[in-house]
Amino acid sequence: MDRVIVVGGGLAGVRAVEALRSKGYEGALTLVSAERHRPYDRPPLSKAVLAGESDDTTVDADWDALRCELLLGERATGLRLDEPGRGGTVESTAGDLPFDGLVIATGAAPVTLPGEGRQHVLRTIDEARDLRARLTAGARVVIVGAGWIGAEVATAAARRGCAVTVVEAADTPLAGAIGPEVGALTAPWYAEAGVELRTGVKVAEVRDGGLVLAGGGHVDADEVVVGVGVRPVLSWLEGSGLLLERGVVTDGSFRTYMGEEAPAALRPDVVAVGDCAAWWSHRYGRRLLVEHWDTALNAPEVAAAALLGRDAVYDAAPYFWSEQFGRMVQYAGDHSASERLVRRGDPSDPRWAVVWLTGDRLDAILTVGRPRDLVQARRVIAAGTSVDPEAIADPDVPVRQAVRAERSERT
């Protein structure tokens, strides 16, 4: 392999470049990024950048030492593939870029709402800086979506003295991410922060001056922020022959497939990683599309190894965190198929957690101000050891001590 192209200048793209070099790849290496900035971290955009605590989140990478050509402000527009194993060409605004190895790391783009009114999304450093300048004392800020981003933007806006309203289509915050029962436990945080939360409200369109609601009604606003999710950036791959389904379909090593439907032919010279990759999880027996920093940080090691023809499989349990309304909220695992929810502490207290179980298996945990629980639970989830449901429901029992002794000894 003599020439590798990495398309995407987010964290996953940077880590792919670093992983390729660390694993001994010596050929030509080019990173194509639609943004004019050098690659930077995105999680601080809705936290430190909006709060005015930071203005630069550039990833600390030595591009000279990495011997990587940076094509900043250039966008991939198409992909032509040769026979499997023989590379192809990335079509871009910088011209045709031939390769014999390709890393797709184009990430995801925010969903926007209908209407001609100005609406802010929060995906780039420029968007974060622009929004921050508008979060002035007394400004009427309406946020559509009470998910992770919506809550973080509401936190920053309230702290800057804005009059903040959050509009959510579901009946509780975070209903899609952690379920309505747990999401409801976070609803009181909004009122405590002086934020008006309106649930069960759907938006028809954004107009100058605010929102038009479905079924009638209007919400006045000086600024509208939309945080209703993202979609993988895939349009440039249409017609390439790669298998696309919600994201770029890959195996557990992030190798892509050719064909319109599974089963399809494996494409080992093209890998996809980060927010745009729908990768096969042996742990959960299905494909996962994980749009969080931890996966973008760690998965490229496996993708780079696979591209270089080495055996490697990624099967980590998802993990993410959020800082909202003065609380650190962390989640690990996958509760989508869990049998029951168990509270670990009183949600009216500053520090509590919930766990999801299937039988005596710990599937997932969400913690509020309990980082030790999170660290120990991640280890239990990774090991697959069983737990005592009664013990894990007791917040005074460390998670590691809730592991059943007989299983712990066998493993």
pLDDT digits (tens, 9 = 90+) for 29-42: 999 999 999 999 99
pLDDT per residue over 319-337, tens digit each? Answer: 999 999 999 999 999 999 9
The answer on 244 and 156 residing in a single domain is: no
The answer on 132 and 61 residing in a single domain is: no
The answer on 236 and 102 residing in a single domain is: yes
Q: State the greatest distance between any 2 C-alpha atoms of the chain, in Å, as a whole number.
A: 64
The answer on 124 and 87 residing in a single domain is: no
The answer on 21 and 89 residing in a single domain is: yes
Domain count, the chain: 3
Residue 314 included in any domain: no
Residue 23 included in any domain: yes
φ, ψ for residue 307, nearest 5 deg: -65, -30
Residue 252 included in any domain: yes
Residue 316 included in any domain: no
Mean pLDDT over residues 290-313, rounded?
95
Q: How far is CA 284 from CA 121, 198, 337, 408, in A?
A: 32, 35, 9, 21
The answer on 222 and 244 residing in a single domain is: no
The answer on 279 and 255 residing in a single domain is: yes
Q: How far apart are CA 330 and CA 324, in angstroms?
A: 11
Mean pLDDT of the chain: 94
Q: Can you give the residue range of the structural domain that contains 380?
A: 326-410
Q: How far apart are CA 198 and CA 169, in angstroms?
A: 9
Report yes or no on whether pTM surpasses 0.85.
yes
Q: Is the peptide bond before 263 cis (omega within 30 degrees of 0)?
A: yes
The answer on 219 and 129 residing in a single domain is: yes
The answer on 300 and 351 residing in a single domain is: no
The answer on 8 and 91 residing in a single domain is: yes
**CATH code of the domain covering residue 88:** 3.50.50.60
Decide if pLDDT at 254 tops 90: yes
